[in-house]
Amino acid sequence: MMRFPAPAKLNLFLYITGQRADGYHTLQTLFQFLDYGDTLTIEPRTDGALRLLTPVKGVPDEENLIVRAARLLMQYADQQGRLPAGSGADISIDKRLPMGGGLGGGSSNAATVLVALNHLWGCGLSVEELAGLGLRLGADVPVFIRGHAAFAEGVGEMLTPVDPPEKWYLVAHPGVSIPTPEIFRDPDLPRNTPVRPLETLLNCEFSNDCEVIARKRFRKVDEALTWLLEYAPSRLTGTGACVFAEFDTEPAARQVLEQAPAWLNAFVAKGVNLSPLHAALAGQAEFR
């Protein structure tokens, strides 16, 4: 039985640059991991069975990204003749990341399953193969599989590794869940932010084009950001609902956390450019 991190991510900036004919939006965004997230416990089986021991209420197992990722890997590796006979697993999750929070919890869970089971089963699939499988499950899954902070373009699948400063963050969940389609369907969402070179973007003040819509539609998001902005540069991550403020030191972030209103569910974490999952596999993890 082994434990594997499924870390959160932040979108340090997010710009919507257009919309394709198929309805998908093109974007430019900067992903960085946090040393905080869910934890998956996996025990390999030798009878080919696959069991999720901690089902999510209201989500059938076959729709759960954890199960979908495991079955996808099993099918692909078997087709390639690289799945050892009897490969299976019992999987459980210690869930800390909120659903609909913009922290990438579901995508991170899927990526951790793909990376961990490839390792435990000894399939020997490359990172490229795993990232290709991950993209079938969601646009954010490949960045978690590759395991390094990245600048993403296209619909999120074109990744360039980067090393932004590893700051401390106070991350707050305002108690609402935001379905991503609700933000992207809004007619007022900015869809024409100019495409800019990465070097230019890194030297501009960071922002998130989805923030104006999230604040308009969800009063609690607006209230959370209004409070955080009194203390530090703050913005939405992804399509929300989580918001975050950045600090240079952990004590500064914790000082503000102590003053958080009771209705905010918040935590402090460090931004890291190497995913805690990959650090764990390399034997150098520090994960809270």
Active site residues: 9, 140
Residues 6+ apart with CB under 8 A from 122: 84
134 known member of a binding site: no
189 known member of a binding site: no
283 known member of a binding site: no
In the chain, the amino acid numbered 14 is L
106 known member of a binding site: yes
271 known member of a binding site: no
> For the packed helices 65-79 and 127-137, what is the interaxial angle rounded to 10 degrees?
130
The full length of the chain comes to: 288
18 known member of a binding site: no
101 known member of a binding site: yes
d(CA 124, CA 71): 16
Helix residue spans in 122-172 (DSSP H) = 127-137, 141-146
100 known member of a binding site: yes
b/e code 247-267 from CB counts within 10 Å (16+ = b): beeeebbeebbeebeeebebb
Instruction: State the binding site for ATP.
Output: 98-108
Instruction: State the binding site.
Output: 98-108
